[in-house]
Amino acid sequence: MTPCLPPLDLQIKNGHVVLPDGITTTDVFISQGRIIGLGRCPDGYGPVAETLDATGLHVCPGIMDTHTHFREPGFTHKEDIESGTRGAVLGGITTVFEMPNTWPLTTTSDALAAKVAASVGRSWSNIAFFAGAMPDNIDTLAWLEQQPGCCGIKLFMGCSTGGMLVGDDPTIKRVLQAGHRRVAVHAEDEPLLHARRPIAEAGCSYGPDVLAHEQWRNAEVAFRATKRLTALAWQTGRPAHILHMTTAEEAAFLANHKPLVTCEVTPQHLTLHGPEVYERLGTLAQMNPPLRERHHVDALWQAVQAGVVETIGSDHAPHTLAEKAQPYPKSPSGMPGVQTLLPVMLTHVNEGRLSLEQLVRLTSTNPARLYGIAHKGQIAPGFDADLTLIDLKAKHTITHTAMANRSGWTPFDGFQATGQPVATIVGGRIAMRDNELAPYPTGTVVQFSPSFASIL
C-alpha cells in the first residue's frame, strides 16, 4: 500500500526572498499553512498542488499592521472586521491588531471574546485584539492580557475617540503594575490638553480652523506624556510601546530609553505635514496626535534610519466623509490607512529613505518579537506561511475609489506610488493576487507565546 504523503500545497518559484541575513533568489515550499523548505522541498511530500511564479518579485515575511481601528462593534457604518481586513490583504497586510475603543469597549473578557468570535470566518487577514485599560478594570488586566486573541493592553493617556482615558500618574502606574506584556500607549498629556482646549475652540484666524488642531495638541502635549510614561515604565519595569510618535523631542528622548520603551510611527506622520496638508485636505487631515510641521517629519525619518523606531503602524481609524465634514473642532479625528501603509512605505523605499530589509523589520520581524507572536516575522522552515509578494517597481496612483474601507476615502488620494503588493498569502493560502480576492476569507486569530517575545 502506498503511504499517504502530506500535501505540498504551494511552491513560490524564483522570488527574491527577504531572509534575516539578506535577500536571496530561491523557492519557498508550503504545506498545511507552514513553510517547510527553502530552495528545495524536503523529502516525503506529495506533488505540488499550486505554483506561483515570483520571478522579479520580492517575497517578504507577511507584513503586519499592529495599529488599526475596525469600529466593530458599535460603529460599523464606518468600518467592520470584514471590510477592514479586506482592505488589509488588498494592501499586502497578512496580520492586523485591532484597538479596543469600540462599543462596547473591549475592557472585559466577554467583550474580547465577542470580538474574537465575530472575526471567525469573516477576517481576510490574521487578527488579534487589544484590551483597553480603565481605572475600573485594572485588577483584571493581568488575566485579560493572557486571553485567547489578546495582543496586549492599550492605554490612553489623553482624550481621544472612545472615552478610555487613564490620565493621572498613580492610575497609570497601577496599570503598568498589572501584568507583564508590553503595553501599547497613546501618549498625550491630558492636563495640558484640557488647559489648551480653548485654542481648538477659537479655531484659526489665518486659515482653516483645523490648523488649530496641531496648535492645541502641540509637541509639548506629546512629549510631556511620553516623558511621564517612560519614568513610570522604569519605576515598574514594565515594557511599553509608544504608538504614533510624532515629535523631534520624543525621538531624541526615546533613543536613550531602549529597549524598555519602544515606539511606532505611522506612514501619515512620515509623509504628510502641516500646514500644507490642512490647507489641502481640511478636516480629512485631522488625527490624534496631529500631523506636524516638516521639521518633525525630518526628525522622525532620522529616528527610523537610526533604529530608534521599532514598528510602523497605520493607525487606521476611518470616519465617514459626512462626519469628517463637520466644522472643526466638532469633526472627529482619524483617517483610513491599512490599505495604503505598504504602497506608501514602498515609495519611500524607492526614494532611498529606508531599505526593503528595514521596512520588513519594522512591519514584520519587530512586531513579532515585541508582542510575542508565535511562528511569524520571518521566512524560515517551521514558520507560518504568511507572505507578502511585492513588485518593487510597479507604479500606480492611490485613489478613493480603490479603497475597501466603508468610509470610502483615503488621505493619500492622488498619491503616485512606486511599489505595490501583488499577492498576499495568509496561512499558506492566496488571499489576494493581482488585486483579486480569494473566494472567501481564511484569516485566523493570532496565537501568542511568551517564549517568542523579545525586548529587542
Instruction: Look at residue 49 and tell me if it is in a domain.
Output: no
pLDDT in tens, 252-272: 999 999 999 999 999 999 999
Q: Is residue 27 part of a domain?
A: no
Containing structural domain, residue 316: 63-376
Q: In the predicted model, what is the mean pLDDT of residues 390-413?
A: 98
Instruction: Find how far residue 342's CA is from the centre of its chain.
Output: 11
Please state, in angstroms and rounded to a whole number, the distance separating the CA atoms of residues 411 and 340. Answer: 9
Answer yes or no: is 26 within a domain: no
pLDDT at position 205: 85
Residues 172 and 301: their CA atoms lie apart, in Å, by: 30
Residue 53 is a catalytic residue? no
Per residue in 421-451, pLDDT (tens digit) is 999 999 999 999 999 999 999 999 999 986 6
Closest CA to 239 of 187, 196, 179, 321: 179
Predicted pLDDT of residue 452: 55
Domain contains 114: yes
Identity at 295, one-letter amino acid code:
H
Q: Which CATH number does the domain housing residue 95 bear?
A: 3.20.20.140
Mind giving me the DSSP string for 344-389?
HHHHHHHTTSS-HHHHHIIIIIHHHHHHTBTT-SS-STTSB--EEE
Catalytic residue among 209, 315, 384, 391: 315
Mean pLDDT check: name the lowest of 134-138, 161-165, 196-200: 161-165
Residue 452 belongs to some domain of the structure: no
In a domain, 321, yes or no: yes
Does residue 186 contact residue 154 with C-beta atoms inside 8 Å?
yes
Would the pTM count as exceeding 0.75?
Answer: yes
* pLDDT at residue 455 greater than cutoff 60: no
Q: DSSP letter string over 160-217?
A: -TTS-B--SHHHHHHHHHS-SSPEEEE---HHHHHHHHHHHHH--SSS-GGGHHHHHT
| 182 close to 258: Cβ distance less than 8 angstroms | no
Question: Residue 54 in contact with residue 13, Cβ under 8 Å?
Answer: yes
DSSP 125-137: SEEEEEEEP-TTS
298 contacts: CB under 8 Å, gap ≥ 6: 248
pLDDT at 109 over 50: yes
Q: Is residue 115 situated within a structural domain? A: yes
Count: domains in the chain: 1
Under a CB-based contact definition with an 8 Å cutoff, are residues 379 and 61 in contact? yes
Residue 201 has pLDDT above 50, yes or no: yes
The answer to whether the CB of 11 falls within 8 A of the CB of 50 is yes
The phi-psi region of residue 240 (left if phi > 0; otherwise alpha if psi is between -120 and 50; otherwise beta) is: beta
In this predicted model, what pLDDT tens digit does every residue of 300-337 receive, in sequence order? 999 999 999 999 999 999 999 999 999 999 999 999 99
- List the grid coordinates of 433: 493576487
The number of beta carbons lying within 10 Å of the beta carbon of residue 42 is: 11
Has residue 224 been placed in a domain?
yes
User: 220-238, pLDDT tens digit by residue?
Assistant: 999 999 999 999 999 999 9
